[in-house]
Amino acid sequence: MKFPLNPAQQEAVEHQNGPMLVLAGAGSGKTRVITQRIARMLERGVPASAICSLTFTNKAAAEMAERVAVILKEGGHRGQSVKQMSISTFHSFGLSVLSRERKVTGGTFTIFDQGDCLGAIKELLSRVGVDRRFDATEVMTRISNAKNAFIAPEELREREGDDYDEITKIVYPRYQAALRNFHAYDFDDLVCEVARIWKTREDVLSRWQKQFRYVMVDEYQDTNRAQLELLRLLAGEHRNICVVGDDDQSIYAWRGADVRNILEFEEHFPGAKIVKLEQNYRSCAPVLAVANAVIEKRTDAKYKKTLFTSKLGGEKVRLGQAPSPEAEAAYVGREIRRMISDEGRKPKDFAILYRSNGQAKLFEEVLREQGVAYRVVGGTQFFERKEVKDVLAYLKLSLNRSDEISLRRIANYPPRGIGETSLERLGTYALARGWTLWETIERVDALDDIPSVARDGCRALEKTIAHARKRLLIERAKGSVVARELCEQLGLQKEITATSPSPQAAARRWANVDGLFGLLSRRESREDAAGRDASAERELMTFLHSLTLNSQEEEEDPGNVVTLSTLHGSKGLEFDVVFLVGLEEGLLPHSRTLDPRASETAPQDIEEERRLFYVGVTRARQLLVMLRARARMVRGKPAPRTPCRFLSDIPSDLVEEFEVKDAALMSTDEMASNAGNLLAMLDALGK
């Protein structure tokens, strides 16, 4: 069933030339506006190949492409195809630019994931003699922050900072040099390097400006300074840029997002048209009333929005006070079980949202007791599992022998006599003679002080990689086939069995490796079915690149389960019933934002916490239940808690307040019901 565009949506869709900022409130149909705007441009004769649409997740990009494809089919746009457009994430777009500009970038390259980057930084910290008390992860974060802010190593040297900043000034230029030596980019480089190339090579920039005459950006409030620089360069000539976002939902400053990008859009693109989308199609009126009350108290707002809906009805928002976190969690578990039993709701209708991951444990326990299926957003990803990363490291090294991080990962796995001491000696020789680590392994027979067992191991590793390269590059064997052959040659299944704590764990770990084979094989089949004639090398390299781009993606549809998530993780999701828990000072706002000595940006941090609260509220479609505890254990003793300051911004007539009973005071019937639920779950598991 099609719904007509409302007047504000229609205004945004009809606009074509010049810059435009669409301020899209939560649940206001922004994706529909973007896709309809693309369709309108096609109707007016804009070539599909001239359109570039950027967003932040592959899921969002795929959804947008799917909707545009439907519009093209229904509209009869002959000769126009969604495949002719560039609809992707910023990082996928950056990868496509770097891949097509191989003459500028220097040919084949690897993309390092977080583990690879951390390994490189640890090695560099060791080389420069940094005290071990300094955390490599924090240094990696500082480097990432600098890249997101589009700050080059030489610029960082001029800035004042703390001890970690001083160490970062030393490591950052060395880290960049190491990446170049490894023929590698990290995730942030996929944007930064494109912007850097475009700034220094007008001929390269001009090619991309001529190709993409119309640029659109979704979730603009989440962009960082490097992404802003990329957009200003790409749209600098024609200025046909439309960005869609909501400054009220800017919650990712901790990973580089800069709310100033959306607040200062008119300064970056003078003469910009501003359109506000305020009609909400998600939440009922009682939820929106609470959301509006909280967000209107923002002190840094430039564009005021008031959400409204034409929906009738909706339950009043509830605000509960529990004696303890345990009572809070028990209440949530009982309510979910009650609504499933009495109201016919399904587990997937519910979400429990909290500020920090550590709050999830109690809610997991009560849901298990109630026999309710659930998932915790943000668990270990498939491609982060050790056995999977080991196989991927062999494949990466087979394609790029300069990839020292992958080489160090598998140099002695499975064990082949190249211990840490021997590997460090090889690394020392490499530094002294200006060789890569792989070149040093190839020349091991010419080196002194390398034990014979390590020499044998180097020869065995060289032979393994040489065979894999021959299969891929000369014999054009599929990546899935080569991966299986590598594992058989290395005896990887036997090694996994020998090093696992139990037969069950070994079976799970090998199943993950087998799952990787299947994933590779299915992707290859899709490529063949699509008639793409890429070489085995290029096909495998594309797959390996895609893993890094997708590493932080949300999982597939989890099924009929309750969702437990941090507020940050809930962005973009929606549920019939939302429990917003832990609404106390120190949890929300987070404790680190409450001490003005902790950060010069403390006022901005508090405003971001307000926006985070607002995001949580606007996830609810039909019912919002807000909860807090009167006391929590601090250093082994119960300590009174202060209500979250944002609750005081909500007029009392907008909420229904209630007291939560202590779990210890539950009735016999309630306890019997819980016991029955637990027994039923255990019985189901036993079957």
Evaluate the omega torsion of the peptide bond into residue 414 and state whether it is cis, within 30 degrees of 0: yes
* Helix H or strand E encompassing 457: helix 452-469
Catalytic residue among 9, 30, 221, 247: 30
Q: How far is CA 78 from the centre of its chain?
A: 36
Neighbours of 202 (CB within 10 A): 10
Token pair 């955390």: residue: 135
Evaluate the omega torsion of the peptide bond into residue 589 and state whether it is cis, within 30 degrees of 0: yes
Of residues 263, 185, 582, 472, the one with CA closest to residue 243: 263
Active site residue 30: yes
Token pair 């360069």: residue: 233
> CA–CA distance from 591 to each of 166, 464, 510, 588 (Å)?
26, 52, 42, 8
Q: What CA–CA distance (Å, rounded) separates 235 from 608?
A: 29
- End-to-end CA distance of the chain: give it in Å, rounded: 43
Catalytic residue among 10, 11, 16, 31: 31
Report the helix count and the strand count for the chain, using DSSP H and E: 28, 17
Active site residue 219: yes
Q: What is the DSSP letter of 279?
A: B
* Helix H or strand E encompassing 245: strand 241-245
Token pair 């009167």: residue: 630
Helix-strand-coil split of the chain, %, nearest 5: 55, 15, 30
DSSP conformation letters of 567-597? TGGGTT--EEEEEE---BTBTTTBGGGT-TT
Parallel, antiparallel, or unpaired: how do β-strands 637-640 and 631-634 relate? antiparallel
Cβ atoms of 315 and 286 closer than 8 Å: yes
Catalytic residue among 9, 168, 227, 249: 249
Of residues 389, 399, 387, 382, the one with CA closest to residue 482: 399
Catalytic residue among 619, 621, 632, 641: 619
Active site residue 213: no
Q: What CA–CA distance (Å, rounded) separates 300 from 259?
A: 10
242 forms bridges with which residues in the sheet? 20, 216
Q: What CA–CA distance (Å, rounded) separates 158 from 131?
A: 23
Of residues 435, 448, 449, the one with CA closest to residue 404: 435
Catalytic residue among 189, 218, 390, 442: 218
Active site residue 80: no
> CA–CA distance from 156 to each of 142, 177, 184, 600 (Å)?
11, 16, 22, 18
Angle, helices 360-370 vs 668-686, to 10°: value is: 80
Neighbours of 121 (CB within 10 A): 22
> CA–CA distance from 451 to each of 419, 546, 564 (Å)?
10, 39, 53
Reported as half-sphere exposure (CB side, CA atoms, 13 A), residue 442 has a value of: 9
Q: What CA–CA distance (Å, rounded) separates 288 from 618?
A: 7
Catalytic residue among 219, 403, 442, 608: 219
Cβ atoms of 563 and 573 closer than 8 Å: yes
Q: What CA–CA distance (Å, rounded) separates 644 from 586?
A: 8
Of residues 176, 178, 167, 174, the one with CA closest to residue 136: 167
Of residues 413, 458, 456, 417, the one with CA closest to residue 439: 458
656 forms bridges with which residues in the sheet? 318
Active site residues: 30-31, 218-219, 249, 619
